Structure 1
Amino acid sequence: MGAGGFQTEVESLKAEGTNFVKLGQDFQASVVRLMNGLSALGAGPPGTPPAGGGQKEPEKSFGEQFMSGLTTFDSKADMPPWGDDDIGEKFGVVYEGVRDGMYESMGHLSSKLQEIGKALNSMSKNYAEGEDFSDSLIKQHVPNPQGSDTSTKFVSRLEGPKSH
């Protein structure tokens, strides 16, 4: 611990540094889950590459495509969920801009949280080393020629101010 009114709790710095790193990692995992969820809805790129190296499903036969087209919205499979009409296209431009900016800023925030955690861990290590060094200096015996006089001097008489 430091001298005077300033004290550093090295273990608290270290613990909070570890917490910040974990917070950044958890936040990044949440961002990936969000991106994957939106991707599953057709509203953005995936947060992680698809399993299997990005291989596509085998092509459906004409009969499968025909039956699927009668019972599902497969004919709209390549379109975003908001549609491709005039209003949908305008919405998509705004949405994709905001989405992409959000992905970028959330990724940046995640990395900064982890950087803060690493910096706090480094700070705790530096404080501990500094305090150990200071403590070792304080404990060293350094001879003081002015204070090593074996004879003790006492004040034997006090004089008041002289008046003229």
Structure 2
Amino acid sequence: MGAGGFQTEVESLKAEGTNFVKLGEDFQDSVKRLMDGLSALGAGPPGTPPAGGGQKEPEKSFGEQFMSGLTTFASKADMPPWGDDEIGEKFGVVYEGVRDGMYESMGHLSSKLQEIGKALNSMSRNYAEGEDFSESLIKQHVPNPQGSGASSGKLISHLESPRTH
């Protein structure tokens, strides 16, 4: 409602607040999936802690290790995917710096989106409460003993235009 042509749609504020919170949560989940995907490739830390409290996978049998060694680069298992040569090391330094900065900024953005949503929800509640309070004040009848006119029983019987004498 509001005065002077300014109108706030409380339900719209509330709906958009909920949308912002959901957007922030969805973005946060996407960041975790990205981090987990890169971690699976050996290119960064996981976005979610490993299941089972961070315990290591059970050790493979000799046969499993032998087959894995035939089909993978087992000797390079502890190295990043870009390698450990001079170019790989330089790439790794740049990549890790950008990756870590990106993780930090995306996490910050996610939390800010959720904060905006919560603030919009709070704003809608506060505005609705203010409107309800104002409406209750307007509806109150307060007698005015100093007033004149219809409320005191007197009627206006004659109007004159304002003139300068």
Tell whether the structures are fold-level matches, with TM greater than 0.5.
Answer: yes
Partner AA of 1:96 in structure 2: E
Per the alignment, residue 72 of structure 2 pairs with 72
The 1:73–1:144 alpha-carbon spacing in structure 2 relative to 1, beyond 3 Å, is: same
Per the alignment, residue 27 of structure 1 pairs with 27
Per the alignment, residue 109 of structure 1 pairs with 109
Q: Give, in whole Å, the separation in 2 of the partners of 1:91 and 1:10.
A: 51
Q: Give, in whole Å, the separation in 2 of the partners of 1:159 and 1:90.
A: 88
Identity %: 85
Could you tell me how far 1:156 is from its partner in structure 2? Answer: 5.7
The 1:91–1:154 alpha-carbon spacing in structure 2 relative to 1, beyond 3 Å, is: same
Partner AA of 1:6 in structure 2: F
Partner AA of 2:155 in structure 1: T
For residue 8 of structure 2, give the secondary structure of its aligned residue in structure 1: coil
Per the alignment, residue 92 of structure 2 pairs with 92
Q: Give, in whole Å, the separation in 2 of the partners of 1:98 and 1:84.
A: 18
Per the alignment, residue 3 of structure 1 pairs with 3
What TM-score, normalized to structure 1?
0.90
Give me the CA root mean square deviation. Answer: 1.9
Q: Give, in whole Å, the separation in 1 of the partners of 2:70 and 2:37.
A: 27
Partner AA of 1:104 in structure 2: E
2:158 to 142, 155, 158: 155
Partner AA of 1:56 in structure 2: K
The 1:64–1:19 alpha-carbon spacing in structure 2 relative to 1, beyond 3 Å, is: closer
The 1:83–1:159 alpha-carbon spacing in structure 2 relative to 1, beyond 3 Å, is: closer
Q: Give, in whole Å, the separation in 1 of the partners of 2:161 and 2:68.
A: 111
Per the alignment, residue 141 of structure 2 pairs with 141
* Moved segments of 4+, more than 6 Å: none
Q: Please list every run of 5 or more consecutive structure 2 residues that lacks an aligned counterpart in the other structure.
A: none
Partner AA of 2:157 in structure 1: F
Q: Please list every run of 5 or more consecutive structure 1 residues that lacks an aligned counterpart in the other structure.
A: none
Q: Give, in whole Å, the separation in 1 of the partners of 2:84 and 2:118.
A: 46
For residue 152 of structure 2, give the secondary structure of its aligned residue in structure 1: coil
